[in-house]
Amino acid sequence: MGGTGLAAVLTACSGYGEPTADDAGSSSAAPSAAPSAAETGSETAAGIGRSADLVSLTEEGIDELFAVNVRAPFFIVQHGLERLRDGGRIINISSGAARLAMPEIIAYGSTKGALDTFTLNLAKQLGPRGITVNSVAPGIVDTDVNAGWLRGNAEAQARAASLAALGRMDSPRTSPTSSPSSPPTTPAG
């Protein structure tokens, strides 16, 4: 792969777009000679949720879903594995769609099933180093991906909340998978 850093890895994995300065973020995205204190773990949260049913799904659409939701996490982990300390953590963001029959998002569910299988095998491979590898399925989160059917629809929001263990729907600001740099918020409910 050409280039360095996370943006280059994502671009090489997906084949979609070229990395920009904004994609690269801080200089910490570039590989360093020695691991820093922050390199004790990795969270692969990049993903796209748009999908279609079997009949309307295009070859380009499924390629894009697998590039972002499966290939990118695979190569992000591969790229950072040498820098990950023994005893570290890898957390992949999965979905309940990997375990539920939801034909309207068949490809998305398939990508998350593949990610769960990757997680299981990676856990077995990295266990001897004391590295734990887990998939987290955060439930229905109020993101732009779900905006079309969820936002402004009280019935859909109530249904989503009823499916959650805590009886509430998350947003990127209240989700346990939010970035540590996100401003603190009070969870709803």
Query: Dihedral sign, CA of 16, 8, 146, 64?
Result: positive
**What are the DSSP calls for 107-135, one per residue?**
HHHHHHHHHHHHHHHHHHHHGGGT-EEEE
3-state secondary structure of 174: coil
Give pTM, 2 decimals.
0.66
**What's the pLDDT at 43?**
52
With bands split at pLDDT 50, 70 and 90, how would you rate the model's confidence at 74? very high
What are the backbone dihedrals phi and psi of residue 170, each rounded to the nearest 5 degrees, phi first? -95, 160
HEC profile for 37-74?
CCCCEEEECCCCCCCCCCCCCCHHHHHHHHHHHHHHHH
**What's the pLDDT at 49?**
65
88, 108, 122, 133: the active-site residue: 108
User: What does DSSP assign to residue 184?
Assistant: P
With bands split at pLDDT 50, 70 and 90, how would you rate the model's confidence at 174? low
Q: Please check the confidence at residue 178 and state whether its pLDDT lies above 70.
A: no
Answer with the residue of higher pLDDT: 89 or 11.
89
Q: What is the tens place of the pLDDT at every residue in 38-56?
A: 455 555 555 666 667 889 8
Q: Is 108 among the residues known to form the active site?
A: yes
Give me the domains of the chain, ranges plus CATH numbers.
5-27+41-137 (3.40.50.720), 138-175 (no CATH)
